[in-house]
């Protein structure tokens, strides 16, 4: 599984919009790696932000 898939799984398990810091905490990934993955995922449209600074999978 790549970082994006790991992060999406953590988001789905959380069941609510999460911040990059929370994603790093849940996945055990480095915060910088999460920030980089979030940036790519935002461009792809695979995550959306319903609340400022919080993200969730786009397919919710």
Per-residue pLDDT reduced to its tens digit, 11-40 = 999 999 999 999 999 999 999 999 999 999
3-state SS, residue 58: coil
| Structural domain boundaries in the chain | 3-49
Q: How far is the C-alpha of 5 from the C-alpha of 42, rounded, in Å? A: 14
Q: Which residue has the higher pLDDT, 60 or 15?
A: 15
Decide: 24 and 14 in contact? Cβ < 8 Å.
no
3-state SS, residue 55: strand
**Which residues, other chains included, contact 40 with Cβ-Cβ below 8 Å and sequence gap of 6+?**
4
């Amino acid at each position: 599984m790549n970082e994006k898939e790991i992060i999406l799984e953590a988001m789905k398990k959380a069941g609510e919009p999460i911040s990059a810091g929370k994603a790093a905490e849940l996945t055990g990934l480095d915060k910088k790696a999460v920030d980089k993955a979030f940036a790519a995922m935002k461009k792809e449209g695979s995550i959306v932000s319903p609340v400022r600074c919080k993200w969730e999978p786009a397919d919710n």
